[in-house]
Amino acid sequence: MFSGGGGVANISAAPVDLTRQTNGEMAIGFRYRVDAAPTGPVFLTLDEGMVDMTRIFGAAPIGEWREIKVRLSCLREAGANVAEVSEPFGLSTESGFSISFENVRLASNEGDAVCPTD
């Protein structure tokens, strides 16, 4: 569970090269349940790359588990150095927000991955 209000939740590891996976249109996938709607911007991060997830999380029904996949190429375009990733998943907000998430993974894009900037 992650509660915002000036917080960051992230997963860190030794650096890995995700160039091949990014070029292959793979995605970061995870299950999530919004427990309290965001009151300001919420970002999904991959190292320095970040995409605004506010619209997606804000539209999710409170208390309902959902699944999402965000294309790695979208995060690369947003500033992530996919050749040397040491923080493969993060959420960041300065506002009120509460979310539970699980099963964070590298996932195949089967036509169901999104780019929140589209």
pLDDT in tens, 33-72: 999 999 999 999 998 999 999 999 999 999 999 999 999 9
Q: Which two three-digit tokens encode residue 56?
A: 């997606």
- Residue 51: predicted pLDDT: 96
CATH of span 2-107: 2.60.120.430
Report strand pairing: 42-46 vs 49-52: antiparallel
The conformation of residue 77, written as its DSSP 8-state character, comes to H
- Residue 97: predicted pLDDT: 86
Q: How confident is the model at residue 6 (pLDDT cuts 50, 70, 90)?
A: low
In sequence order, which residues have a C-beta less than 8 Å from that of residue 64 and are 6 or more positions away? 33, 34
The burial of 63, by beta-carbon neighbours within 10 Å (0-12 exposed, 13-18 middle, 19 or more buried), is given as: exposed
Q: Are 77 and 83 in contact (CB under 8 A)?
A: no
Bridge partners, 42 (sequence order)? 93
Report yes or no on whether pTM surpasses 0.75.
yes
pLDDT in tens, 92-114: 888 888 899 999 999 999 999 99
- Residue 14: predicted pLDDT: 83
Q: Which two three-digit tokens encode residue 36?
A: 């309290």
76 pLDDT exceeds 80? yes
Q: Find the DSSP H helices in 37-99.
A: 54-59, 72-77
